[in-house]
Amino acid sequence: MRVLVVEDDGVLRGQLVSTLEAAGYAVDSADNGIDAQHLGTTGSYDAVLLDLGLPRLDGLSVLRNWRAVGRTMPVLILTARDSWHEKVAGIDAGADDYLAKPFHVEELLARLRALIRRAGGHASAELVCGPLCLDTRNGRASVAGQVLALTSHEYRVLAYLMHHQGEVVSRSDLVEHIYAQDFDRDSNTIEVFIARLRKKLPPGLIETIRGLGYRLGAPR
Amino acid sequence: MTAMPARGSLRLRLLAGTLFGVAALIVVAGWGLDNLFREHVARQFRAELATHLDQLTAHLVVDEGGRPKLSAALSDPRFSRPDSGLYWQIDPADETGAGGALRSRSLWDDVLGVPADVAADGTVHEHRLDGPGGIPLCALERRVHFEDTPDSPGGHFRLIVAADERLMAEPVARFRGALWIALGLLSAGLGLAALIQVIVGLAPLRQLRIALARVHEGSAQRLEGEFPAEVMPLIDDFNSVLARNAEVVERARTQAGNLAHALKTPLSVLANASAGREDELAALVRAQVAAAQRHVQSHLARAKAAAAASLPGARTALRPVVDGLLRTMHRLHAARSLDLVAGPIGDSLVFRGEEQDLQEMLGNLLDNACKWARSRVEISAGIDSGAGGTSLLITIDDDGCGIPASQRDAVLRRGVRADERIPGSGLGLSIADDLAQLYGGRLLLGDSPLGGLRARLRLPAASPAGALGGS
């Protein structure tokens, strides 16, 4: 799961990035509206944390511009401006949730998980595929109750596949969503992660669709 | 706003001044005209008498016996009609004093009693006499002297012509009647004109009062309309005061928002730094951050509201605000799939106040209802025309667990939370209540028929746009 953090305060941005990385997300960040607009328009993100009071271009305009060019990723506005007037303006500009500063980290993570889940059409915090179960609240994957030991990259690949169960996910999709932007990307590593996951999972869960990518689904 | 006692009415003053002036002038003019006419009539009357006297003098001859005689009758026929009111008489002016030797037929048996004064020959005297039947007469007298001639002895004679004074008074009375009727009509017309002038002249002031009422009532932000040049500077000044007021409020808002932003980001940093650590310092930081946040939020809300409540002319339609908030609630509480139901809210429901404040009150109440509701939140609104003017009555129901009656007062106090299970600042209900009170309204908490909390918000209503005459 790849998340964009847009926040102009350096210390807070650093805290958000490390908190989100610790929670298993790949994180990009921007400290002004112009960069944020560029990143959000060109990159694939599973969610965006957006501050409203940004230098160069304000957050609401950034959000409207994203929506105008058809970017539909869930956006959580994270701002000090917490009057209902501003909340309504934020939601009407296309935001999916609104969290006022100061906030509790747990609440931020819970809302972010819920946003990503809802965007994938999942109602529950636990994603289930046959014997495999992924609890997004604590980042734990288990097979028939046995907790799996996963590296962070393995977890990101598995979580992305779980959120898109039954869909064909291309290798480039996976690259887009498990790496932060400034990471040295190599699509060959995806095959390595998939191979490792297959060893840890019951056979037949991850299917290779030749030439297209992978599909996660309960074996028939 | 307290009404100051009015110091008289401008309309009454103008009207009284004009009417007093008109009345004084009419009386003076009437008196003057009356006098002029009376004098004119009197002068004419006397001139006529003098003509008769001249004629009488011309016709007078003395016979051989020294007695006066008329060579021809006087031309005016009234001299020969008895009691016609026009008389003449010729008396010898000697010591015998026998008056009435020769007199007009109109005198019949009467004789004019002329005072026995002595005047120079040829001069004309005026007398007031009692005529036949005691009626007052105006008389002219001339004394003439005939020299002795071979034919007659000559002598002094007093020639008198008299006329009934009523002959003079009658046209004066007739004129006076007509004069006062005309002047009466004139003053009535002038009075009416003054009234119309005052009404038309002061009409802009009434218009001004209506414009002010619209500002006060909330349907206009400034004094609208065209006013006369004398009033316009006042209007412009007033409008610039209003505009400046609005500007100050807006600046206060902006500064309050900036302050919030400036404070909350460092608070977030502190809160995040302390998160997940169990030592004493972290707990202290968390507690103080929460306290600081509550202070910032409540003071911001109050500062904004205090600025807004004093701004005249603000009005906000209820419907769009509720629609916007419901969209927002749907999104913010999307995870809980609540039924958010709005009853019919007509366009005639208009709040007399700032949009942001209405959003703040309803947002907090709706958010609170959504947080606690199991599955359903309802909002409805209506007009309540009570003794204290019309007010909006907005009702928000939820099917959550409600608040026990004993705790309802407490939750309206700042920062008191009835239940710590759901995150929140504990300020929502008290902010809504504070704002409502600043607008002279109230927030009442009760039991909802849905099973949870019923929040009823009473707010001042503004009349729908255009309901107040004019443009």
What's the pLDDT tens digit per position in B166-198? 888 888 899 999 999 999 999 999 999 989 988
- Stronger pLDDT, B118 or A138, i.e. the higher one: A138
Last residue of a domain, one of A119, A150, A176: A119
Q: What number is the average pLDDT over the span A179-193?
A: 77
What is the C-alpha to C-alpha distance for residues B163 and B106, in angstroms, rounded to an integer?
11
Q: What number is the average pLDDT over the span B135-164?
A: 81
Tell me whether the omega of the peptide bond preceding residue B136 falls within 30 degrees of 0, making it cis. Answer: no
Residue from B250, B253, B269 to probe the interface with A (highest A Cβ count within 10 Å) = B269
Residue in A closest to B263 by C-alpha: A80
CATH number (domain holding residue A75): 3.40.50.2300
What's the pLDDT tens digit per position in B401-422? 888 888 887 777 755 555 555 5
> Residue B469's pLDDT is what?
37
What is the C-alpha to C-alpha distance for residues A34 and B9, in angstroms, rounded to an integer?
65
Residue B72 has pLDDT above 50, yes or no: yes
pTM across the whole model: 0.60
Task: Indicate whether A208 and A165 sit together in one domain.
Answer: yes
Residue B1 has pLDDT above 50, yes or no: no
Residue A6 has pLDDT above 80, yes or no: yes
Count of beta carbons in the 10 Å neighbourhood of residue B238: 16
Task: Indicate whether A88 and A157 sit together in one domain.
Answer: no
What's the pLDDT tens digit per position in A46-65? 999 999 888 899 999 999 99
What is the C-alpha to C-alpha distance for residues B139 and B126, in angstroms, rounded to an integer?
6
Q: Which fold has domain B314-471?
A: Heat Shock Protein 90 (3.30.565)
Using CA of residue B345, residue B350, residue B356, residue B362, what is the dihedral sign?
negative
Residue in A closest to B290 by C-alpha: A102
Residue A5 has pLDDT above 90, yes or no: yes
What is the C-alpha to C-alpha distance for residues A190 and A208, in angstroms, rounded to an integer?
12
Residue B152 has pLDDT above 80, yes or no: no
Phi-psi region of B289 (alpha: psi -120 to 50; beta: other; left: phi over 0): alpha
Nearest to B360 among A9, A84, A107 (CB): A84
> Residue B94's pLDDT is what?
66
- Stronger pLDDT, B396 or A191, i.e. the higher one: B396
Last residue of a domain, one of A86, A102, A119: A119
The pairing of beta strand A140-143 with beta strand A132-135:
antiparallel
Residue B395 has pLDDT above 90, yes or no: yes
Per-residue HEC secondary structure of B294-348 comes to HHHHHHHHHHHHHHHHCCCCCCEEHHHHHHHHHHHHHHHCHHHCCEEEECCCCCC
Which of A10-24, B119-133, B306-320, B376-390 is modeled with the greatest confidence? A10-24
Phi, psi for residue B155 in degrees, rounded to 5: 150, 175
What is the C-alpha to C-alpha distance for residues A65 and A34, in angstroms, rounded to an integer?
11
Least confident of A88-92, A209-213, B151-155, B346-350: B151-155
What is the C-alpha to C-alpha distance for residues B107 and B100, in angstroms, rounded to an integer?
10
Residue B310 has pLDDT above 60, yes or no: no
Q: Taking CB atoms and an 8 Å limit, are A91 and B269 in contact across chains?
A: no
Nearest to A84 among B261, B268, B363 (CB): B363
Using CA of residue B37, residue B40, residue B42, residue B44, what is the dihedral sign?
negative
Chain A residues closer than 8 Å to B297 by CB:
82
- Stronger pLDDT, B392 or B100, i.e. the higher one: B392
- Taking the CA of residue A42 and the nearest CA in chain B, the distance in Å comes to 25
**DSSP H/E element including A29:** strand A26-30
Which residue range forms the structural domain that includes residue A41? 2-119
Which of A123-127, B257-261, B358-362 is modeled with the greatest confidence? B358-362
Q: Taking CB atoms and an 8 Å limit, are B268 and A105 in contact across chains?
A: no
Q: Taking CB atoms and an 8 Å limit, are B268 and A82 in contact across chains?
A: no
> Residue A182's pLDDT is what?
67
Nearest to A102 among B262, B289, B360 (CB): B289
> Residue B420's pLDDT is what?
52
Strand locations in B319-463, DSSP E?
339-342, 350-351, 376-386, 389-398, 442-447, 453-462
CB pairs under 8 A between A and B: 95
Strand locations in B93-168, DSSP E?
102-103, 124-130, 136-146, 155-164
Q: Taking CB atoms and an 8 Å limit, are A80 and B265 in contact across chains?
A: yes
Residue B100 has pLDDT above 70, yes or no: no
Predicted confidence band of residue B470 (pLDDT cuts 50, 70, 90):
very low
CATH number (domain holding residue A212): 1.10.10.10
Distances in whole angstroms, Cα of residue B38 to Cα of each of B48, B135, B166, B280: 15, 20, 13, 117
Taking the Cβ of residue B285 and every Cβ of chain A, the question of whether any pair is shorter than 8 Å is answered with: no
Of A98, A72, A104, the closest CA to residue A85 belongs to A98
Last residue of a domain, one of A69, A102, A119: A119
> Residue B129's pLDDT is what?
82
Chain A residues closer than 8 Å to B272 by CB:
12, 15-16, 19, 105
Of A213, A205, A207, the closest CA to residue A132 belongs to A205
Task: Indicate whether A131 and A211 sit together in one domain.
Answer: yes
What is the C-alpha to C-alpha distance for residues B168 and B165, in angstroms, rounded to an integer?
5
What is the C-alpha to C-alpha distance for residues B326 and B343, in angstroms, rounded to an integer?
12
